[in-house]
Amino acid sequence: MRNTFNTLMHLQEIDRQLATLESVKGDLPQRLEAITEELESKQRARQEKEDAIRETVTAQQQARDELVLMRERLKKYQSQLYQVKNNREYDAITIEIENTEKEADALDYKILEYEESLAKLQQERDALTPVIEELATRRTENQEILEKTLATTRDEEQKLLLEREETVKAVPRQILSTYNRIRSGRGGVALALLRDGACSECSSRIPPQRGLEIRQMDKLYLCEVCGRIMIWLPEAKNT
């Protein structure tokens, strides 16, 4: 058991160093992620505008083609007016002409509406461009800073992770899972020393009887206040 405690102490030192390396990176990875997300959402928004522009251009072109056909039809009706044989035919063609003119007016209006929404869409799309460019620049900058930081810490981190992998092999599974659970719940520190009759991490007094038991180092005792694994080092001063 004493060996296990020594291994845990070693493990905690590795974890402490890993945490230090992690803190060097700081919030760079999160910041980079946030910028990337924003950039992608703006790019999607611009793509949506592009799609809408393309659809509007197509619809406008269709309306124009239709208008050309209508005007040809109107010409045809008008030339037919000169060849009518009676009033009934004349009235019928006149009604056709009136209807077609109405339709053509409506189409003209629609084409104007397309023109307006195109101008609006293009303006919205163009407004996104500088925003996207700025975000892309910021992302590149942050990426470079992060990569530089990672390059300086990567080797050390690799070494520590390998060492951790080896070290945990010597820790019984149950104790390791207790260690990991306490570590993640207690700010990365799972062990506490019995020092001067108190817990070195939370400073709460350890009852003398419990202190004696901890000193035996033959069982896992947790601090009743902070829940950390209590360790007694013979060289540490004890009362």
User: Which of 18-26, 48-56, 143-151, 216-224 is the region at the interface with Zn ion (rule: CB under 5 A)?
Assistant: 216-224
Of 8, 191, 223, 231, which lies in the binding site for Zn ion, with binding defined by CB under 5 A? Answer: 223
**How far, in Å, CA of 97 to CA of 154, rounded?**
80
Q: Please, which residues have CB within 8 angstroms of residue 138's CB and are 6 or more apart in sequence?
A: 35
Closer CB to Zn ion, residue 84 or residue 225? 225
User: Which of 116-124, 166-174, 208-216, 217-225 is the region at the interface with Zn ion (rule: CB under 5 A)?
Assistant: 217-225
DSSP 165-204: HHHHTTS-HHHHHHHHHHHHHTTT--EEEEETTEETTT-P
Under the binding rule (CB under 5 A), the answer on residue 217 touching Zn ion is no
Find tokens 């996207």 and name the residue: 132
Of 118, 132, 202, 220, which lies in the binding site for Zn ion, with binding defined by CB under 5 A? Answer: 202
**How far, in Å, CA of 168 to CA of 163, rounded?**
9
Under the binding rule (CB under 5 A), the answer on residue 231 touching Zn ion is no
Of 160, 199, 214, 217, which lies in the binding site for Zn ion, with binding defined by CB under 5 A? Answer: 199
Work out how close the CB of 228 gets to Zn ion at its nearest, in angstroms, rounded to a whole number. Answer: 5
Dihedrals phi, psi of 207, to nearest 5 degrees = -55, 140
H or E, element range at 66: helix 28-81
Work out how close the CB of 214 gets to Zn ion at its nearest, in angstroms, rounded to a whole number. Answer: 12
User: Which of 19-27, 70-78, 140-148, 198-206 is the region at the interface with Zn ion (rule: CB under 5 A)?
Assistant: 198-206
Dihedrals phi, psi of 87, to nearest 5 degrees = -65, -35
Closer CB to Zn ion, residue 121 or residue 231? 231
Closer CB to Zn ion, residue 135 or residue 199? 199
Q: Please, which residues have CB within 8 angstroms of residue 54's CB and are 6 or more apart in sequence?
A: none
User: Which of 41-49, 59-67, 92-100, 191-199 is the region at the interface with Zn ion (rule: CB under 5 A)?
Assistant: 191-199
Copy the structure tokens of residue 154.
């990567």
Residue pair 232/9 in contact by the 8 Å Cβ criterion: no
Under the binding rule (CB under 5 A), the answer on residue 190 touching Zn ion is no
The interface with Zn ion within residues 150-169 (CB under 5 A) comprises none
The interface with Zn ion within residues 72-111 (CB under 5 A) comprises none
Under the binding rule (CB under 5 A), the answer on residue 226 touching Zn ion is yes
**Nearest Cα residue to 9 out of 190, 131, 177:** 190
Chain positions contacting Zn ion, by CB under 5 A:
192, 199, 201-202, 223, 225-226
